[in-house]
Structure 1
């Protein structure tokens, strides 16, 4: 086998490899081990670079709340309509993160993982820079929500799926480490943003973020690649056959239910705790515990998937997340149970994001993992858009802002629906109860 090392994706020239790549639906474990063809450090560089890009993109999404709070409290004081417009920006970011998944996954496979990530990084930096000159909230919606949102949408799918292409025995752990960048990025960038806003201004915090995005992101992009890529595919060769597979539809619905449920506890648990007499400072610590647990869960569940199987780990994660909402949330009125709720929910809900791309590869083949996972991320956008407002409507219904029991039951039911669908696909893959799947 000869390798074109000048190509940004190091394309394999072996006919046998080409056949393997073009033939979809192969099991992950039957894919050629890239460690036999590439230096060991290459795959670790891929994981590290994906970790950095995930941290930059999602970390900035998580830190927007700091800038939003400052603008609402100091710039647009008393201007209700403008403050309401500001609240849409975070939703737009979250929505865009998934909306462009289908396009990004497709472009990564037919064009280049590395080049696509670089384009996304540049668009992210431009969005932040343009936002620094905005004077009105609607302008921030366009720059932060749309432009920056497009950038993070282009990098999220490739960096979520690239590590799985480099590993066979530790594929779950590699993916878990890469997507753990989301939580670590939030833990680092949110305090940094708060410091920059306090010491300089929102405008300069955005400009400085544009600088470190382009510097750190460009360096990381260089190492984002996959070992083997089918260069015979073109922009016109999108594979629509997946939509005819009902297992694909089952997995897509599972993704929809998870994404509709995922963000609700993070958004409403602080309000629930304060409503039950816990101070706002303590509530912020409890939600921070959930975020830390989320980062740990992304790595730990990926590690577990290597030993007990991806689909088995996914079923277990969904089950515990559902139980957390049904059983723990209604009784998390004190600090003790609140910590347990944060740990259990954060660990398993975060762990899902490690397992989601791995499960797609297990069910539908690793050779088209980016495009398939991208489709599921686009489905996630719909769930992200609908899940929060529906939860808010339940909360503001009977009880007038205090119907947290109804909200927890709603979120638990979404996780339960996802669990049932995951079990269906797991049983279709293998009916052996103790099989490592």
Structure 2
């Protein structure tokens, strides 16, 4: 709820930073705070996965929540310079979030088999729920108390809730000790390479609406700040429903097929609803449809990993895959924000095409054939 929820709600901070606190800073610079949150969280997926396999996940999760809370509280005293927020609200928070998120998404795969996709979908729906209530809550706190107190209050809540949640994080498997700390042999598997490439493309597109859609609505469509904030809330609400629903759909269509379908339909929503019209109503419709299907990208990846390579090394494999998410995140949101800054109103079409192309490219995924082989399917 808080590891990804805080990332999903960062658009509220970015909008306020751009309009009030740092009006002379380009949006592309401010987007690096949120970009670092998700990118570094994925980059630290490898050490997080290793720690989960060698230590009690309850301890790993508790330490992660502690780091997240401390990072936000420190950030509240560093909100006079963007580079300080990049270090605290961005980098430091992300390290703690990784220690929470990796155990959370890998744990259901250990405990469930028949309803694994649904179980993981319910777990990752927490990030949508977190973004759903954190976005308006953050907006109200910023408006009434300022960004400093908004960060402090959020930091305290993050630590308190994660401290309780960590008590329920129990490993099912005891991993045998290995000579290699990290087994990179997975990169010799063609299936993993296809999914790795799809992860780069998909993640490059994933956060573009969450970070850029509010600014786009305000700067290009002439909407209010509240309207931009509501778009983030709508995406998170729809994403919550979508992550659970895709878990059910995957039981019938298959995990990999459902994952490819979700990324394709998310990109289609941008081409059909955002690009041609750019009005308030169609932006809301795009937020709903995109939110419904983008959640499958986050929720189904751990399930696909467990389906293809088993649960014994699931935490480490997910951590290795999240290197792709790191690369995609470093490309996506900053690029779209830079386009919005430098091209102005015309950037809307460019952002939309970039988002749609990246998300559609991520549907070039590996699909299991009846014989057990893997082929490439172009969405």
Fold-level similarity (TM above 0.5): yes
Q: Residues of 1 paired with 2:93 and 2:26: CA distance?
A: 20
Local SS of the residue matching 2:294: helix
- Select 1:379's aligned residue among 315, 324, 339: 324
- Select 2:204's aligned residue among 257, 260, 264: 260
Matched, 1:57 2:39: no
Residue-by-residue CA offset, 1:264-298 (whole Å, 9 max, x unaligned): 23333345445664633445434432221111111
Gaps in structure 2 of 5+ consecutive residues: none
Residue-by-residue CA offset, 1:302-324 (whole Å, 9 max, x unaligned): 12112322112112212212322
Report the alpha carbon displacement of residue 354 of structure 1 after superposing the two structures with TM: 0.8
Report the alpha carbon displacement of residue 373 of structure 1 after superposing the two structures with TM: 1.0
Residue-by-residue CA offset, 1:332-369 (whole Å, 9 max, x unaligned): 43444434322221111112111111111112222211
- Select 2:42's aligned residue among 79, 94, 98: 98
Local SS of the residue matching 1:425: strand
Report the alpha carbon displacement of residue 86 of structure 1 after superposing the two structures with TM: 4.9
In the alignment of these two chains, the number of paired residues is: 373
Matched, 1:130 2:74: yes
Local SS of the residue matching 1:331: coil
CA spacing shift, 1:307–1:117, aligned 2, 3 Å = same
Indicate conservation of the 8 Å contact 2:274/2:286, yes or no. yes
Q: Residues of 2 paired with 1:286 and 1:81: CA distance?
A: 23
Indicate conservation of the 8 Å contact 1:256/1:382, yes or no. yes
Report the alpha carbon displacement of residue 77 of structure 1 after superposing the two structures with TM: 6.1
Further displaced range: 316-325 or 118-127: 316-325
Matched, 1:305 2:250: yes
Report the alpha carbon displacement of residue 221 of structure 1 after superposing the two structures with TM: 0.4
Residue-by-residue CA offset, 1:358-383 (whole Å, 9 max, x unaligned): 11111222221111111111220110
Q: Residues of 2 paired with 1:371 and 1:332: CA distance?
A: 43
Report the alpha carbon displacement of residue 396 of structure 1 after superposing the two structures with TM: 6.3
- TM-score using structure 2 length: 0.87
CA spacing shift, 1:132–1:328, aligned 2, 3 Å = closer
Report the alpha carbon displacement of residue 156 of structure 1 after superposing the two structures with TM: 1.4
Query: Superposition pairs for residues 135-284 of structure 1, below 5 Å?
Result: 136-137=80-81, 138-233=83-178, 236-274=180-218, 277=221, 279-280=223-224, 281-284=226-229
Local SS of the residue matching 1:92: helix
Indicate conservation of the 8 Å contact 1:96/1:152, yes or no. no
- TM-score using structure 1 length: 0.76
**RMSD, matched Cα:** 2.9
Indicate conservation of the 8 Å contact 2:64/2:99, yes or no. yes
Indicate conservation of the 8 Å contact 2:69/2:158, yes or no. yes
Indicate conservation of the 8 Å contact 1:250/1:425, yes or no. no
Local SS of the residue matching 2:174: coil
Larger radius of gyration: 1
